[in-house]
Chain A
C-alpha cells in the first residue's frame, strides 16, 4: 500500500468516526431524554408499567445542606407558622449517629411511596390511595381528617393541616383539617419533569437523589439499583418502598 493510499484510509476512518460521534451527539439527548422523562400524554391513564422511585445516596448527601427541604416547601407553598410541632413537613433532613461507632450520616426522609402502603390500608374512606404508577397520594376531597394514616405510617411522613391556609398554589391543593404528604411532585412527573427536591440537590451539585422509573431496566435509577447495594428503611415490614437508600 502506498503512503497516499494509507493516508486515505486514515482519513476515511477519521471521518467515519467523526460522523458516528456527531450522529451520536445529535441523537443522544433525544434518547437520554426519553429515558429520564416518560411524559405521559394527558389523555392516557396512569399505567402500572411505570413504578416511580427514588434512590438516595447518603454518601453524597451534604451534611447541613437543606436544599431539598427548601425546594419542597417552595414548590408546594408549605409556609410554616413558627410552630414546628404542628407545621407541615413533607421532606426532612435526618441526622444519624451510630451509637456504637460514632459514625454520622445525613439523609432526607420523605414519603417512601410503598408498594403496600399502611396508610392506604387503614384509611376508612379511601382518601389515601396509590396510583398505578406507585405514587401514594391523599384525595383531599374525601379525607375526613381522622389521622389514622399518620398512626399507621412507619416513616412519620405525613402532616395534618392544623390551621387555615392562605395563598395556595394551584398545582398543590391543600386543605385545613386534612392530611397530606410528599406527592413525588406528581404535577411535575406527569409533565415529564423530576421532583423539586431532586432538581435542587442536583443544582447544589450533590447529585444524591436519582428519580426515575424502577420498572424500566434502562433508566438510571434501575441501573444504579442493579449495580450498587441499596436498602429500604424498615425493610422488615416488607412494604417494598419506592424510595431506596445507599450508604445506610
Chain B
C-alpha cells in the first residue's frame, strides 16, 4: 500500500441535493403508501387471510438479509485480514446499518398496528424467533456502530479486529434468526427445513455484495473518486462464488423435498405447475438472477466491463427479490395439507392455491424501504468519512501490477 488511506465526506453541492431529493421522493411515497394501508386497513392490499405476508415482507426480508451480507466486505478485512478490503470496510458497515433500517421500516409499517411498536419493545415472549430478532437487529446496529467507531477513531483502531470479529459472529446469528423465521414453521410444506438458516446466510452474502458493488461504483463515479480494477475484479469474482453457493443451497433444499413423498405436491407446485411462482423461480431467480449474472461476471467479453458487472449485480438483486417472493408468497399460496389423501373444499379456501396479486401501495412501501436505505447511505457518506478519496489500484493492493 502506497500510503495511509484518506477518507473524506462527499461534497454537498447541487448533485448531492438532487440525488437526495430524488431518493427522498421514494421515501415519501413509501410513507404515503403505509398511511393509506393503515388508514383503510389491509383489505386494500393484496394480502388476505390466506396470504398474510405480502410484497412488503418480500422487500423487508430481502433488505434485512442483504444488510447482514453488506457487512461481509468489512469482515473480510477485519476478521480475515485481507488488507485490500480495508478501505471498503467503513462503507460496508454503513450499508449494513442503513439496509437494516430500510428493511425494518418496511416490516414495522406493514404491521397491523405499527403504532404499537413500543409494545413490541416492552413485551417479550422469548420462545418467539421474532422476539429474538428484535434483539438481534437492534444489537446488530449497535455493534456495527461501535465497530465503525473503532475503525474511524484513530485512538480506537487497535480494537477494530475484536469488534469486527464480534460483529461477524453476530451477523451470522442474525441471519440464522431470519432464516429460522421460516425454517422453524412446521405448519407449511414449503418451510420447516433447517437448511433455510444457512441458505439465508449464503443468500445474504450474494445480495449484500451485489448492493455493495453497485453503491460503491455509483458513489465513486458520482464523487469523481478513482476506483481501480483491482478491487472491482476481486469483488465481482467473490460475487460469482456467492451466486454459485446460493444455487447449491437452493438445489439441496429442493432435492431434499423431492426425496420426501409428502413434499412432492409442494415441489411440483414451485418447479412445475405453480404459474407465477414457477416462472419466477426458473426464469427470474435461476435464469436472470443466477445463471446470467454468473455468465456476465466470468465470460471474458463481459467480465471486465463495469457496465456488465453493474448489470450482473442488478440482476442478482432482482433474482434475490424473486427468490424471496417464491419463498414467502409461494410458500403461503400452496395449500396446507390438513387431510392427507383427501380433496378439501371450504368457504375459507382450504385445499386450493391461494391467489395473491401485489397491490400498488405494497409495492411502493417496499420501494420506499430501499429508498430509505439509500437516502441514509447518501447522508452518511456526506456527513462522515466513510468513503476513501481514492480506490485506485496502487492505493488498494501493494502487489498490484498493471500488466
A contacts, CB < 8 Å to B: 69, 81, 83-89, 92-100, 109, 118, 120-127, 142-148, 150-156, 158-164, 175-179, 233-234, 237, 248
Contact = CB atoms under 8 A, between A and B. Distances in A.
A229 to B, nearest CB: 17
A56 B101 CA distance: 49
B186 interface: yes
A158 B336 CA distance: 14
A21 B47 CA distance: 62
B336 A94 contact: no
Interface stretch (B126-134, B245-253, B267-275): B126-134
A127 B355 CA distance: 29
Interface stretch (B198-206, B341-349, B374-382): B341-349
Interface stretch (B34-42, B160-168, B387-395): B34-42
B332 interface: yes
A67 to B, nearest CB: 14
B126 to A, nearest CB: 9
B346 A146 contact: no
Given A122-B128, A125-B119, A160 B111 contact: no
Given A86-B42, A150-B52, A159-B49, A179 B112 contact: yes
The 8 closest A-B pairs by CB, nearest first: A145-B112, A177-B112, A124-B130, A163-B41, A162-B43, A154-B187, A85-B48, A126-B125
Q: Is the interface of A mostly helix, strand, loop or mixed?
A: loop
A125 B41 contact: no
12 contacts: A81-B43, A89-B49, A94-B345, A99-B342, A144-B116, A145-B113, A154-B186, A154-B338, A161-B112, A162-B43, A163-B43, A164-B41
Contacts of B259: none
B128 A150 contact: no
Interface in B173-197: 181, 185-188
B119 A144 contact: yes
A125 B129 contact: no
A240 to B, nearest CB: 14
A100 B342 CA distance: 8
Nearest to B134: A124
Contacts, number: 174
Nearest to B341: A99
Which of B50, B348, B355: most chain A CB closer than 10 A? B348
Nearest to B40: A163
Contact of A177 (B113, B181, B187): B113
B125 A177 contact: no
Contacts of B38: 177
B196 to A, nearest CB: 13
A125 B128 CA distance: 8
B52 A88 contact: no
Given A94-B350, A118-B187, A146-B130, A125 B125 contact: yes
B124 interface: yes
Given A144-B112, A233-B339, A121 B128 contact: yes
B53 interface: yes
B187 to A, nearest CB: 4
Given A81-B43, A83-B43, A95-B346, A123 B128 contact: yes
A95 B123 CA distance: 40
A93 B346 contact: yes
B134 to A, nearest CB: 7
Nearest to B130: A124
A152 B41 contact: no
Contacts of A142: 116, 119, 123
B138 interface: no
B383 interface: no
Contact of B347 (A89, A120, A121, A155): A89
A46 to B, nearest CB: 19
A127 B111 CA distance: 14
Contacts of A81: 43
Contacts of A145: 111-113, 116
B48 A86 contact: yes
A109 B111 contact: no
A97 B343 contact: yes
A190 B349 CA distance: 32
Contacts of A120: 125, 127
Given A85-B50, A86-B49, A143-B113, A124 B124 contact: yes
A60 B133 CA distance: 47
B25 interface: no
Which of B40, B43, B130: most chain A CB closer than 10 A? B43
Given A88-B49, A125-B119, A163-B43, A96 B130 contact: no
A160 B130 contact: no
Contact of A85 (B49, B111, B119, B134): B49
A16 to B, nearest CB: 55
Nearest to A93: B346
Which of A85, A109, A234: most chain B CB closer than 10 A? A85
B19 interface: no
A146 to B, nearest CB: 6
Nearest to A91: B348
Interface string B319-361: 0000000000000100010110111111111100011000000
Nearest to A129: B125
Contacts of A144: 111-114, 116-117, 119-120
Which of B38, B50, B52: most chain A CB closer than 10 A? B52
B112 A146 contact: yes
B72 to A, nearest CB: 28
Given A124-B120, A176-B41, A100 B341 contact: yes
Contacts of B355: 85
Contacts of A154: 186-187, 336, 338
